[in-house]
Amino acid sequence: MIKILFRKFSEVLFFILFITFVSFIFIRLAPGDPVLTILNVDELSVSQEQVEALREEMGFNEPVLVQYGLWLEKFVQMDFGQSFVTGQDVMSTIMAALPATLELAIGAIVVMLIVAIPLGSLSALYRDSWIDKISRTLSIIGAAVPSFWLGLIFIDLFGVRLNWFPTMGRDGILSLVLPSITLGLAISSVYVRLIRSSLLDSYTQEFIRAARARGLSEGRVFLMHAFRHSIPPVITVFGVSLGSLIGGVVVIEVLFAYPGIGKLIVDAIRQRDYPLIQGYILVMGGIVFIVNTCVDLSYRYLNPEMKYKEKESK
C-alpha cells in the first residue's frame, strides 16, 4: 500500500510540474495582454508608460522561463498568488467555487448510475431482445447528441415552457436538477455499453457455471458473481474518463450559468487571469490524482484475480 501511494505521489508530482509548465508557456503565447485587460484600455485612456510600468511590476518583462521559476518558487511556499481581475487570493476563489462543481459532478454521476446500471444490465440479461435493441439505440443516440444541445432542449422545455425548474444560477436543489440530468445523460451512454459488454463477458466465465451448478438462483448469480465481476472494468474506465467529466462540467456550468469552478475558469481564460488558470490546473490535477488513486485501490479489492496473483507472488 505504501509503495503504491509513493509511486502515485511521484507520478502526480511529475504530472503537475509538466502540466503547469506546458500550460504556463502556452497561456502566455496566447493572443491578448492581461495588462491591457487590467487597465481597461477599451474604456479608459491609458498611456504607454502606464502599460509598461504595470507590465514591469507584474514581471511580464522577464523571460517566460524566469516567470515560471518565480511562480514555482511561490507555489512551493503555498502561495498561489492573487487574481489579476479581482485581487483576491487564487486558492480562496477556487475553493469558494469548488463545492458547486462537486455538487454538479456528484449529481451527474448519480443520474448516470440510475440510467446506466439498469439499462446495461437488462441489455446483457436479455441479449438481442427488444430491450437490448432499445438500450443500444438509446446509448448510440446519447453518444451522438452534444451535451450543450441536450441542455438547451431541457432549458426550453422544462425551464421556459413548463417552468418546472430554474435554468440559471445556484439556488437550492432544484437548480441542480437540469444540469445534473443533462451531464448525467451525456456520459451514461458510454457506461450502458460498457456494463453490457462486461456482464456478457462475466457470463462466459467458469465461476458462473459453477455457481449455477451449486443451485444458486439467477438473481444471486447476477448480484453476487456476474455483476461483481463486471464492476472493476467500469471503475477503471471511470478513472480514465474523469477528464471528460470535468470538461463536461465546464460546458454545462457555462450553459446554465452555474457558479462553479468551470464557469470560473472560462471567465479567467477570457480575462487572461493567469494565476487563476494555474490554480485551476493544480486543483484539477489534485482531484484527478485522488480519484485515480482511489480507483486503483478499489480495483485491487474488487478484483479477486488480482488478490490471488498477489498471494501467489508472496
State how far the Cα of 13 lies from the Cα of 254, in Å rounded to an integer: 30
Distance of CA 213 to the CA centre of its chain: 43
Give the pLDDT band (50/70/90) at residue 40. Answer: low
**pLDDT tens column, 171-193:** 778 888 888 888 888 888 888 88
**pLDDT tens column, 62-86:** 777 887 887 888 877 777 778 877 7
Give the pLDDT band (50/70/90) at residue 166. Answer: confident
Q: Distance between terminal CA atoms of the chain? A: 14
Whether the predicted pLDDT of 165 surpasses 80: yes
Strands (E), the chain: none
Greatest CA separation for the chain:
86
DSSP string, 48-96: HHHHHHHHHHTTTTS-HHHHHHHHHHHHHTT---B-TTT--BHHHHHHH
**pLDDT tens column, 42-66:** 445 666 676 677 777 777 777 778 8
State how far the Cα of 280 lies from the Cα of 285, in Å rounded to an integer: 8
pLDDT (0 to 100) of residue 43: 47
Asked if 248 and 186 touch (Cβ cutoff 8 Å), the reply is: yes
Give the pLDDT band (50/70/90) at residue 125. Answer: confident
List all residues 6 or more positions away from 79 whose beta carbon is below 8 Å from its beta carbon: none
What average pLDDT does range 112-119 have in this prediction?
86
Q: What is the pTM of this model?
A: 0.75
pLDDT (0 to 100) of residue 137: 82
Give the pLDDT band (50/70/90) at residue 32. Answer: low
